[in-house]
Amino acid sequence: MVSPKGDLDMSRSPALRNSLRSVQGDKPVTLIVNLASVEYMDSSGLATLVEAMKNAKSNSTKLVLCAMNQKVKALFEIARLHHYFNIVASLDDAIGA
């Protein structure tokens, strides 16, 4: 599981990208990205997660995003990416997904 914190903008997305790449290098069966502590996200954060999803698909990893706040969820909707990702409401839901 990867649990980024704070604002996922252009200054902080590279750190998440590195974390995701590191975890995805092990080709896990399931990867949960817990967004409960992410207050804000911009298109840099979206791009990081899209890249992770593409890597997950090529590795046959099940990528699940969970616990995003309404503001982050709205960004996914604006970018029309909410149907592309497996998004669940809570960490419990992600573990059970």
| Number of Cβ within a 10 Å radius of residue 73 | 16
Q: Tokens 């899209």 correspond to what residue? A: 50
Rg (CA), the chain: 12
Q: Does residue number 2 form part of the binding site for other proteins (CB under 8 A)?
A: no
Q: Does residue number 95 form part of the binding site for other proteins (CB under 8 A)?
A: no
- Residue number, 82 or 96, with CB nearest to other proteins: 82
Q: Does residue number 48 form part of the binding site for other proteins (CB under 8 A)?
A: yes
Q: Could you tell me which of 57, 61, 68, 60 has the C-alpha nearest to residue 91? A: 68
Give me the residues that bind other proteins (CB under 8 A), please: 7, 9-11, 39-44, 46-48, 50-51, 54, 69-75, 77-81, 84
